[in-house]
Amino acid sequence: MSAVYLPIFVMLLFSGALAGGMLLFSMPFGPYNPTRVKSEPFECGCRSIGPNRVRFSAQFYILAILLVVFDIEAAFMFPWAVLFSKLGLAGFIEMLVFIGVLVLGFVYLWRSGGLDALDK
Amino acid sequence: MSELFTFIQGRWDPAVTYPQIVWPALVVAYGVFAVTFASLFAGITSWYERRVAGRMQCRIGPNRVGPQGVLQWLADGFKAFLKEDLVPKEADGILYRIAPYPVFVGVFCTWVILPYAPAVVGADLNVGVVFLMAITALVVAGIIMGGWASNSKWALLGGVRSAAQMVSYEIPVGFALLTAVIPAGTLSLQGIIAAQGGAPWNWMVFHSPATFIAFFVYFTAALAEGNRTPFDLPEAESELVAGYNTEYSGMRFIWFFFAEWANLYVIGAVVAAVFLGGWRLPGVGIEQQAASLWLQFAGACLFVLKALVLVNVIIWLRWTLPRLRVDQLMIMCWKYLVPAGMVLVVVAVFWVFVERGMPGFARWVAFLLCATGFFLVGLMFWRAWYNIKYGGDRLYLKFMV
């Protein structure tokens, strides 16, 4: 069955080769003359003030953690969805409990303001 | 032809069906075909979209290079070829240089599972839908890499915004696909297509109220995941210069956009396969279609046509809707689409029992939903016609300019 996965590796190779090959191919054509001004970070025409690795809102991390929670939960639901017709009513009730726990967490998240992350 | 049928059911092993040399050769041929298809599609769409945008904004658009400007994308490519590939001095050189690759590869690799006909598909993975979500997650990695490595405030903000948006909208995408997977009972795209029928009322979108709404949830979330308007905040020119690709130039800059345009076809093809019947022809069984080369070809044409219609809708939306604010974007995902997705999954499961208990009722609901869907499309066209006729909108329906 592993032969089914061969096209993925071929496609990874081909698309990577296309991107890299075109970049290599374009190298001799373009000029390469990095001056001081050109190498500066872009700042709408004025001098860049302060460090460029600026701090960004920690709320982005909350979003990232939420993704992990909800995506892993989706990963559990996919195999269940495939086998659902074989699991019957018992599987349905168990998954309802699973989704129920998740919804409780979601409601807590909503009430505690975690979803208003970027609402500013 | 029974081997083709088992192929559709996801129980097909190429190593058994084909001799050891033929299968790798077929795979390489498919790889060449897919890379060419994706590149041509991305290139031509870049021209087509600007052309459509021109017509929608009462201007002409690119029409100089080649007949009707159809070779504009080649000219743009050559121009990018002759540009300096600049790496800012304080940028993280390695990350900056490799950032376009995950974006490019992540979009192009989805071509492996996009089906065309019963026997024409790169790999009919039994985890197709999960593979789709997994490989497109590479795009997020590439964008946040590029945004951070650029050492520019605009690129950093654009990259972080983009990552937040794409990971958030991955959840509604998952739920909406799950809603379609439950009635189909398989994750393979070919299997999901095989579970549908050729006639519109047998499509997955009209299968139950849950899938009907899931269609819209998926389409919205896929637009946001692909950074398309009205969700193109990562590249909001008016606030972020250009977003995560601010510092990029030359071919590396082109690859980001190449991937974005190629992604249009991915969205269209996945919606067509999962919700709109894929390559199924009305009144033709799967085995019958798999047995005939012509029917396969017709199915492939129908599939690509459905995908292209959806691509047109996406382009049309881009030049119609204004951009959302960043907080509206997040609220839309977390407070509307995610809860909707949870409810949809439960309703979809409930509908499986309804189908078993009352097949007649389920059938009538499918007909009703189908009629509703076509009524809505018809209503839209009627409104457009009405506005043109009575609203005083002046329209120059000259095809060539």
Whether residue A34 and residue B87 make contact (CB cut-off 8 A), yes or no, is yes
Cβ-proximal residues to B232 (8 Å cutoff; 6+ apart), any chain: B318, B323
- Contact state of B31 with A7 under an 8 Å Cβ cutoff: yes
Task: Determine whether the interchain pair A39/B86 forms a contact, defined as Cβ–Cβ distance below 8 Å.
Answer: yes
* Cβ-defined contact of B129 to A78 (cutoff 8 Å): yes
Calculate the alpha carbon distances from A99 to A69, A77, B201, B330, B346 in Å. Answer: 13, 9, 30, 22, 9
Q: Which residue has the tokens 């991937």?
A: B259
> Do residues B214 and B129 touch, judged by C-beta distance below 8 A?
no
Beta bridge partners of B117: B120
Domain that holds residue A25: 6-119
Task: State which residues of chain A have pLDDT below 50.
Answer: none
Cβ contacts (< 8 Å) between B112 and chain A: which residues? 7-8, 11
- Name the DSSP letter for residue B281: P
Residue B24: which H helix or E strand, with range?
helix B22-56
The whole-number pLDDT of residue B14 equals 57
Query: CB of B45 within 8 A of CB of B221?
Result: no
Q: Does A1 fall in a domain?
A: no
A chain contacts of residue B148, beta-carbon cutoff 8 Å: 53
Nearest CA to CA, how far is B389 from chain A (Å)? 43
Residue B151 to chain A, least CA–CA distance (Å): 6
Of B27, B83, B187, the CB nearest to A82: B187
Query: Residue A34 belongs to a domain with what CATH number?
Result: 1.20.58.1610
CA torsion angle for B23, B24, B25, B30 (degrees, to 10)? Answer: 90
Are A54 and B157 within 8 A, CB to CB? Answer: yes
Give the list of residues 6+ apart from residue A77 with CB closer than 8 angstroms, or none. A95, A98, B178, B345
Amino acid at the residue B27: V
Please write down the long-range contacts of A101-106, taking CB distance under 8 Å and 24 or more positions apart.
A102/A70, A102/A73, A102/B342, A103/B342, A105/A69, A106/B338, A106/B339, A106/B342
Q: How far apart are CA A82 and CA B226, in angstroms?
A: 27
The tens-digit pLDDT sequence of chain B (401 residues) is 344 444 444 445 555 566 667 777 778 888 888 888 888 999 999 999 888 888 888 788 888 888 888 888 889 888 888 888 888 877 788 888 888 899 989 998 898 888 888 777 777 788 888 888 888 888 888 988 888 888 888 888 888 888 888 888 888 998 999 998 888 888 888 888 888 888 888 888 888 889 999 999 999 998 888 877 777 776 666 677 777 888 888 888 888 888 888 888 999 999 999 998 888 888 887 777 777 788 888 888 999 999 999 999 999 888 888 888 777 888 888 888 988 998 998 898 888 888 888 888 888 988 999 999 999 999 998 988 888 777 766 666 665 55
Q: Least CB-CB distance to A118: which of B246, B251, B326?
A: B326
Burial class (CB in 10 A: 0-12, 13-18, 19+), B103: buried
pTM exceeds 0.90 for this model:
no
- Bridge partners, residue B120, by sequence: B117
How many angstroms away from the CA of A10 is the closest CA of chain B?
6
Q: Is A13 within the bounds of a domain? A: yes
Residues from chain A contacting residue B352 (CB–CB below 8 Å): 84-85
For residue B187, list chain A residues with Cβ-Cβ distance below 8 A: 78, 82
Q: How far is A83 from chain B (nearest CA, A)?
A: 7
Is there a domain that residue A38 lies in? yes
Residue A113 placed within a domain = yes
User: Which ipTM score applies to this complex?
Assistant: 0.86
Q: How many structural domains are present in chain A?
A: 1
Closest CA–CA distance from residue A113 to any residue of chain B (Å): 11
